Amino acid sequence: MSQSIINPLSRGYRVYVDDNFHFMDEDERECLGDFATYDEALNAAKKVVEAFFGEKSVGQPEDQLYEGYTSFGDDPYIVSFGGAPEPPTRFSAWDYAKEVSRKLSQREIPRPSPSGEQAGN
């Protein structure tokens, strides 16, 4: 993960990122940054989860993708600060990773066409 970026906000939502491989090790925790709105923080947290998966994940078994994430992926979470309202829902990176794993496992792997171009292009 890149260096943490913290915006100087007086209130908002902070995204922290734990490392599933170093479960419960606060020394491995990073602050991704501060966001003015919950939606901005949520989008940032989702991108962290999505970054674990790549095109290599397309068509792989859902259980293997999810197990890989829960063992080695980054685990973002969102907290409010400075009097910002509590998030309307609790974001669960593991639940979102399960959803991403399911979607990726159901997609077909792009196959090259006989002319060397990918199908659908």
Per-residue confidence in pLDDT tens, the chain, 121 aa: 444 444 567 889 999 999 888 777 777 789 999 999 999 999 999 999 999 998 788 888 999 999 999 999 999 999 999 999 998 789 999 999 999 999 999 876 555 555 544 444 4
How many structural domains are present in the chain?
Answer: 1
Cβ pair 3, 30 in contact under 8 A: no
Q: Is residue 63 part of a domain?
A: yes
Token pair recorded at residue 97 = 């990773």
Answer yes or no: is 36 within a domain.
yes
What tokens appear for 107 in the block? Answer: 């997609």
- Domain annotation covers residue 2: no
Give residue 57's pLDDT: 87
- Residue among 94, 92, 102 at smallest CA distance from 69: 94
Q: Is residue 77 part of a domain?
A: yes
Nearest-angstrom CA–CA distance, 7 and 33: 6
* pLDDT attached to residue 87: 81
- Does any domain span residue 114? no
Print the domain residue range for 83. Answer: 12-103
User: What does the pLDDT read at residue 120?
Assistant: 46
Residues 63, 71, 16, 57: is their CA dihedral positive or negative? negative
Structural domain includes residue 109: no
Q: What residues contact residue 95 under an 8 Å CB cut-off, 6+ apart? A: none
